[in-house]
Amino acid sequence: MSARNETAWRMFEADRASKNLGMRLVEATEGRAVVEMTVGPLMLNGHGIAHGGFVFTLADTAFACACNVDGRGVTVASGADVTFVASAREGDLLVATAQERTVFGRSGLYDVTVRRGEEVVAEFRGRSRTLSPRG
| Tens of pLDDT, residue by residue, the chain (135 residues) | 455 568 899 999 999 999 999 999 999 998 999 999 999 999 999 999 999 999 999 999 999 999 999 877 889 999 999 999 999 999 999 999 999 999 999 999 999 999 999 999 999 999 999 997 654
Rounded-to-integer distance, Cα 106 and Cα 8, Å: 17
Return the CATH number at 108. Answer: 3.10.129.10
**Structural domain span for residue 10:** 3-133
Whether 112 contacts 97, CB under 8 Å: yes
pTM for this one? 0.93
Overall number of domains in the chain = 1
